């Protein structure tokens, strides 16, 4: 288990896992007033959270499946990444992909965050790459029967 340092300037609870097997913690809107998102409009919703993420980890901001399926509300840059050296307020970019306006209320669960370990890559420039069965087959290629 990894500890995350957090400053909570919102009026709401810290992000929490909803079940023992959950990978993501729900995060809440921290709003002075409701925000209505028109169809295809993008907005940035504050959370009031400031975190210190350990080096070698990131926090991914992902859509809540219920909001996406029921209302067409999703995270615009899903998954959004919060890097370990960022110290500003966590904000969530939402977009309304439905044909009706949607109102975000203060304290509403707007996204989920997942703590993920990552590696740092070092480039090794080469002249050739090792062959593979797939080769250069791109989008949709892995489902094609030969």
Percent of the chain with pLDDT over 70: 95
Question: pLDDT for 91-132, tens place per residue?
Answer: 999 999 999 999 999 999 999 999 999 999 999 999 999 998
pLDDT of residue 143: 64
- C-alpha dihedral over 132, 136, 142, 145, to 10 degrees? -90
pLDDT of residue 137: 75
pLDDT of residue 146: 55
Looking at CATH, the fold of the domain delimited by 5-119 is given as Deoxyuridine 5'-Triphosphate Nucleotidohydrolase; Chain A (2.70.40)
Asked if 38 contacts 72 with a C-beta cutoff of 8 angstroms, the reply is no
Does residue 144 register a pLDDT over 60?
no
pLDDT of residue 34: 98
Rounded-to-5 percentages of helix, strand, coil across the chain: 5, 40, 55
Entry pTM:
0.86
Question: Mean of the pLDDT values across residues 58-75?
Answer: 96
Helix (H, G, I), strand (E, B) or coil at 65: helix
Question: Mean of the pLDDT values across residues 49-56?
Answer: 97
Domain ranges of the chain: 5-119
- Quote the strand ranges of the chain, DSSP E: 5-8, 16-17, 25-28, 35-37, 42-52, 57-62, 73-75, 80-82, 89-96, 102-104, 109-117
Question: Mean of the pLDDT values across residues 18-24?
Answer: 93
- Greater confidence (96 vs 141) lies with 96
C-alpha angle 10-13-17 in degrees, rounded to nearest 5:
135
């Amino acid at each position: 288990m990894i500890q995350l340092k957090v400053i909570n300037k919102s009026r709401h609870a810290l992000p929490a896992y909803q079940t023992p097997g959950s990978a993501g913690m729900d995060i809440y809107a921290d709003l002075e007033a409701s925000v209505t998102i028109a169809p295809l409009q993008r907005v940035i919703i504050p959370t009031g959270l400031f975190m210190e993420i350990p080096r070698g980890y990131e926090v991914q901001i992902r859509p809540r499946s219920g909001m996406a399926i029921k209302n067409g509300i999703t995270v615009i840059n899903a998954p959004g990444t919060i890097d370990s050296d960022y110290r500003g307020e966590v904000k969530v970019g939402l977009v309304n992909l439905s044909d009706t306006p949607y109102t975000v209320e203060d304290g509403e669960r707007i996204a989920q965050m997942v703590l993920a370990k990552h590696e740092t890559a070092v480039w090794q420039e080469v002249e050739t790459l090792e062959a593979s069965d797939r080769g250069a087959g791109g989008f949709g290629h892995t489902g094609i029967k030969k």
